[in-house]
């Protein structure tokens, strides 16, 4: 394995960073909103499924009211 000096490493890192395509502000906002929407939908789904299972288990064990 070849060893590079620290200055060469920093130069290579800067060179690679210049190749990165950073998202625009609008893309970041839209992606963030989509994440929040998906989190809300997933939490609602799991809440409903949990309520269904809870109802079923209570009825099977005779604990239902």
8-53 pLDDT, tens digit per residue, is: 989 999 999 999 999 999 999 999 999 999 999 999 999 999 999 9
Q: Are 55 and 64 in contact (CB under 8 A)?
A: yes
pLDDT score at 62: 84
Q: So where are the chain's domains?
A: 25-65
pTM beyond 0.75: no
- Does residue 65 register a pLDDT over 60? no
Provide the b/e sequence for 12-47 (b: ≥16 CB within 10 Å).
eeeeeeeeeeeeeeeeeeeeeeeeeeeeeeeeeeee
47 compared with 58, residue with greater pLDDT = 47
pLDDT score at 15: 94
- Does residue 59 register a pLDDT over 60? yes
């Amino acid at each position: 394995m070849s060893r590079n000096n620290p200055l060469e490493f920093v130069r290579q890192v800067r060179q690679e960073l210049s190749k990165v395509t950073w998202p625009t502000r609008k893309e970041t906002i839209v992606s963030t909103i989509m994440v929040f929407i998906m989190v809300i939908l997933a939490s609602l789904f799991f809440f409903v499924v949990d309520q269904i299972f809870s109802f079923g288990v209570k009825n099977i064990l005779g604990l239902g009211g």
